[in-house]
Amino acid sequence: MRKVLLDVDTGTDDATAIITAALSPDIQLEAICTVWGNREVDITTRHTLMVTELVGKKVPVYKGCSGPMVRDLLPQWKQEYEFPKTGIDENGQEFGYHDDFHLPEPKVKAEDQHAVSFYVDYLRHVKEPVTLVAVGPLTNLGHALKLDPSITKNIEEIVVMGGGIAEYNITTCSEANIWHDPEAAQIVTRCGAKVVYVPLDATHRAALPKEYIAKCEDLHTPVGDFFAEMLRERIKVYNALQPLWRKDIAPIHDALCVAYLIDPKVLVDLRHVHLDVSMDTGASQGMFLIDTRHFHAPENCYIAYSGDEKRFGKVIMDVLKLDADHRKS
Ligand code: BDR
Ligand code: CA
């Protein structure tokens, strides 16, 4: 069983990453760290605690950074590239990507320790290497790796949801998680551990169709219902604000990273490349620069060019069915 640390900016798709990791028999979820991104860090932390209670797992949650490592010092920060995050439905109601969760207020609290110091302490002392799955801006990891670069010796692999090869969602050439904190992403890319990027090109191709809504509802479990509701909302948002290659599908970006730990074949065409993150401001902030020259610089990470919807859907349904079976017994 793999020991895993999750880093999330919860967020509907982050919620599904937590659910998948918490319910999988292949994963020992050691801790969850929260970060700013989809929403402010207090909200992403609250959402995270709600989801851990929903799945009934006692996992320590560490609140992390509330803004990027350095970008918010720049005068251009967030001025030019605000993008449409909400739409209005047929009833005149506003909807968005990462609205408030309709779950009970969490009873548990986050740990006192900050996520960055947790990473450093934990990774200095852990007895066997652990896998990190980071699906928000990489700010917590960027700080931890700066504080103590030697922690990489205890990292088996870092799986990151972020970036785009030919698909983008913030500017004409960048993706949200990387755009939010390019410096942190560059630090992670260069840290020397095995890094696997799961960009939009993979998550969009593995997007789940609306048929999964009924499949999840048929389980008649709180987690199945939450998943179904999340998918219904995301499909509505994607149809309206970010139409994909097919109608009535939605990418569940962050859960694809966790699914990769359970079935590596959910990622298709995984290439070993040299990648740099653009430190520019403006449209190319956080853009992925993949060195495809025949005299390219040494490889520093893996990146998935595509994803497999069927395999991904199976991983999701397997963990949800396992949860349903446990609840019955
Ligand atoms: C990524 O950004 C966040 O909005 C999502 O949770 C996902 O991690 C997609 O670009
Ligand atoms: Ca996320």
User: pLDDT tens for residues 269-317?
Assistant: 999 999 999 999 988 999 999 999 999 999 999 999 999 999 999 999 9
**Among 29, 37, 15, residue whose Cα is nearest residue 223:** 15
What's the confidence (pLDDT) of residue 81? Answer: 64
What's the confidence (pLDDT) of residue 83? Answer: 67
Q: pLDDT tens for residues 183-236?
A: 999 999 999 999 999 999 999 999 999 999 999 999 999 999 999 999 999 999
Residue 98 scores a pLDDT above 90: no
What is the phi/psi pair of residue 114, to 5°?
-75, 145
What's the confidence (pLDDT) of residue 323? Answer: 96
Ligand minimally distant from the alpha carbon of residue 180: 1
Please tell me which residue, 90 or 145, carries the higher pLDDT value. Answer: 145
The predicted model gives 106-135 an average pLDDT of 97
Distance 294 CA to ligand 2 centre (A): 34
Q: How far is CA 111 from CA 91, 117, 231, in A?
A: 41, 12, 30
**Among 226, 163, 232, 224, residue whose Cα is nearest residue 197:** 163
How far apart are alpha carbons 120 and 118 in whole angstroms? 6
Residue 88 scores a pLDDT above 90: no
Q: Provide residues with CB under 6 Å of ligand 1.
A: 11, 13-14, 38, 135-136, 161, 169, 175-177, 253-254
The predicted model gives 119-133 an average pLDDT of 97
Burial class (CB in 10 A: 0-12, 13-18, 19+), 123: buried
Please tell me which residue, 142 or 90, carries the higher pLDDT value. Answer: 142
Distance 11 CA to ligand 1 centre (A): 8
Residue 245 scores a pLDDT above 70: yes
Q: Which two tokens stand for residue 235?
A: 């499909």
pLDDT-based confidence at 93, cuts 50/70/90?
Answer: confident
The owner of tokens 């479990």 is 221
How far apart are alpha carbons 155 and 140 in whole angstroms? 15
Q: Which mutation among 135, 160, 180, 256 tests ligand 1's pocket best, with the greatest number of atoms within 8 A of CB?
A: 135
What's the confidence (pLDDT) of residue 308? Answer: 98
What is the chain's mean pLDDT, rounded?
95
Nearest atom in ligand 1 to the alpha carbon of residue 10 is 6
- 301 SS3 class: strand
Write down the pTM of the prediction.
0.96
Ligand minimally distant from the alpha carbon of residue 167: 1
Contact between 264 and 311 (Cβ < 8 Å): no
What's the confidence (pLDDT) of residue 189? Answer: 98
**Among 173, 180, 159, 165, residue whose Cα is nearest residue 256:** 159
Q: pLDDT tens for residues 155-198?
A: 999 999 999 999 999 999 999 999 999 999 999 999 999 999 99
Contact between 35 and 136 (Cβ < 8 Å): yes
pLDDT-based confidence at 126, cuts 50/70/90?
Answer: very high
Q: Whose CA is nearest to atom 4 of ligand 1?
A: 38
Q: Which two tokens stand for residue 163?
A: 């970036």
Contact between 169 and 199 (Cβ < 8 Å): no
Nearest atom in ligand 1 to the alpha carbon of residue 12 is 6
List alpha helices for 101-221, DSSP H. 115-125, 139-147, 176-180, 182-189, 200-205, 211-217
What's the confidence (pLDDT) of residue 208? Answer: 98
Containing 157, the helix (H) or strand (E) segment is strand 155-161
pLDDT-based confidence at 82, cuts 50/70/90?
Answer: low
Ligand minimally distant from the alpha carbon of residue 6: 2
- 317 SS3 class: helix
Residue 95 scores a pLDDT above 70: yes
- Beta-bridge mates of residue 277: 288
Nearest atom in ligand 1 to the alpha carbon of residue 177 is 2
pLDDT-based confidence at 79, cuts 50/70/90?
Answer: low
Residue 94 scores a pLDDT above 90: no
How far apart are alpha carbons 162 and 191 in whole angstroms? 16
R_g (Cα) of the chain, nearest Å: 18
What's the confidence (pLDDT) of residue 165? Answer: 98
- Beta-bridge mates of residue 81: none
What's the confidence (pLDDT) of residue 19? Answer: 98
**Among 257, 274, 44, 254, residue whose Cα is nearest residue 140:** 44
What's the confidence (pLDDT) of residue 97? Answer: 73
